[in-house]
Amino acid sequence: MTYYDELGVGPAVAPVEIRRAYVALARRHHPDAGGDPARMRALNAAFATLSDPERRRRYDVDLRSADDAPPAPEDRHRVWPAGDGAGDVDLSGADPADLLDDTPFGPPAARPALVAVPPGLLALALLSATLFFVFGHPALLAGAGALVFFAGIATAAVALLSLTRGARTTRLP
């Protein structure tokens, strides 16, 4: 299996696509997430080679010279050693910025305008209660109670909206 097959990309893909494929597969196969350590080592070896332009160029030359043609997708018999052959990968020349994952993890926050609604309703309830003590009109106290009730409903609605917006459409195995 070639490094391109390992990451599920073709030989002509851009470096950003290699990084995306690596990050997606690393999330799925990382040992901390219940994945296979051998599969993760193979992914690391593939990414270390294909993310470095010089290493990738040498790898492509070796791959073509071994076959005298570009590798076919069904050619999965080739196994390339990783690093010194002991399963370790030399990442000394790798750019650490390539390994940073800038994809947000977890549910997205609700819109800032919606998050401001419950505290705003509570502020209005406090103002209404204060005006009740100043003017003594019972409608102001009833309004303060209603505003506190609606602030509670708005808090629950914002929390539910945040949870439903964060639901994943696809599940990882």
pLDDT digits (tens, 9 = 90+) for 87-141: 455 556 666 666 666 665 555 555 677 788 899 999 999 999 999 999 999 999 9
Determine the 3-state secondary structure of 111 from DSSP: coil
- Average pLDDT (152-172) is 72
Q: How many Å apart are CA 104 and CA 30, to the nearest integer?
A: 18
Average pLDDT for the chain: 78
- Average pLDDT (32-54) is 90
Q: CB-based burial of residue 141 (10 Å sphere; 0-12 exposed, 13-18 middle, 19+ buried)?
A: middle
Determine the 3-state secondary structure of 114 from DSSP: helix
Q: Are 165 and 110 in contact (CB under 8 A)?
A: yes
Q: Give the pLDDT of residue 166.
A: 58
- Average pLDDT (19-42) is 89
